[in-house]
Amino acid sequence: MENFKIRKYSEKDYNLWNDFVNQSENGTFLFLRDFMEYHKDRFEDGSLMIFEKETVVALLPANRKGNELHSHGGLTYGGLLVQENRGHAYLESLFTALCDYLKAASLEQLVFKSRPSFYTAGSNREWHNFLIRNGAALYRSDISMAIDYQRPLQIGKSKLKRYRKPENELLEVVQEQDFAPFWNEVLEPRLSEKYEAKPVHTLDEITLLHHKFPENIQQYSVYRDGRIVAGITLFVDTYVVKSQYGATTAEGEQLRALDYLFITLILKFKAEGKYFFDMGTVSQKEGKTYNPGLLKQKEELGCAMYTQDFYSLPL
């Protein structure tokens, strides 16, 4: 561990942390401190900064849970952030230094949440290799669905036919600054009715995050005769657009308004030069099963299957 110095993040590191995220090869706005800390009351921050001499070379967004360190439980994906890939031997020595630090801190387990491969310019396989060789268990593998814009779009013919129906001219797609109509009239009622669930973010939380990240967190809604019938909340990053929430009213289901909105947005962000459109996971019960109806819907919208892996490393 002689080449690396590792310490916990503190508030004085705010600018240093954010600058590194913005320059790293696999950083996204979810790793910026203003996003990570919106729910700091729910997680004990255990984020780590790794230095070589006086220069930051890696970050681990993380939270502590008892004697375990989790790569952050409040984020969709995680893992180590590096500024650039300096080769296998360098990354291995960095990972070894991290493990030595965690052992010296009397932690008993590292829970490592990877990200789907399309979120990073480099490969995830090296981290997989380091984890497995050090005794980690792959305990969960979720199915993530995404459209690769580098390939021809594969939207199903029936969905495209309905998208082009003349009566869809009565549907108005609006980019909104106010998230309340979608949250109060569509998302929360439908999640409660269909799944007895609530969105991960409250209306106040998503509004706060939108104010902090107005270009990254976007709301698109569909209206018919002045009534909201569907909506999609997007997390937009440099190369990837993620559908964070999508829902429709009973009327919207009859109008196929959500499919209409998805295809509208898929075409919009392809034209803007994004690399991937991420439609999220179809896995349920911590990866033990999946929703076949949701999988079929996303396949018909042109998605291919990727995986997001979760590891447990005893220390």
Q: How confident is the model over 245-304, as pLDDT tens digits? A: 999 999 999 999 999 999 999 999 999 999 999 999 999 998 999 999 999 999 999 999
pLDDT at res. 87? 83
The share of the chain scoring above pLDDT 70, in percent, equals: 97
**Cα–Cα distances in angstroms (integers) from residue 18 to residues 9, 22, 81, 121, 255, in the given order:** 11, 6, 12, 19, 43
3-state DSSP call for residue 68? strand
Dihedrals phi, psi of 227, to nearest 5 degrees: -105, 130
How confident is residue 195, by pLDDT bands cut at 50, 70 and 90?
confident
Q: Which helix (H) or strand (E) holds 48?
A: strand 48-52
CA-closest candidate to residue 248, choices 162, 134, 171: 171
pLDDT at 125 over 80: no
Question: Residues 50-97: pLDDT tens digits?
Answer: 999 899 999 999 999 999 999 998 999 988 998 777 788 888 999 999
Q: What is the pTM of this model?
A: 0.93
CA-closest candidate to residue 64, choices 76, 73, 53: 73
pLDDT at 38 over 60: yes
- Mode of pairing for the β-strands spanning 171-176 and 217-224: antiparallel
How confident is residue 158, by pLDDT bands cut at 50, 70 and 90?
very high
How confident is residue 1, by pLDDT bands cut at 50, 70 and 90?
very low
**Four-point Cα dihedral 79, 82, 88, 92, nearest 10:** -60
Question: What is the pLDDT of the chain when averaged over all its residues?
Answer: 93
pLDDT at res. 26? 80
pLDDT at res. 15? 98
3-state DSSP call for residue 28? coil
Which comes out higher in pLDDT, residue 73 or 179?
179
How confident is residue 122, by pLDDT bands cut at 50, 70 and 90?
low
pLDDT at 121 over 60: no
Taking phi over 0 as left and psi of -120 to 50 as alpha, with beta for the rest, 225 belongs to: left
**Cα–Cα distances in angstroms (integers) from residue 50 to residues 44, 47, 101, 280, 311, in the given order:** 19, 10, 10, 30, 21
Q: Which helix (H) or strand (E) holds 290?
A: strand 289-290
Question: In 39-77, which positions are buried (b, 16+ CB within 10 angstroms) versus exposed (e)?
Answer: beeebebbbbbbeeeeebbbbbbbbbeeebbbbbbbbbb
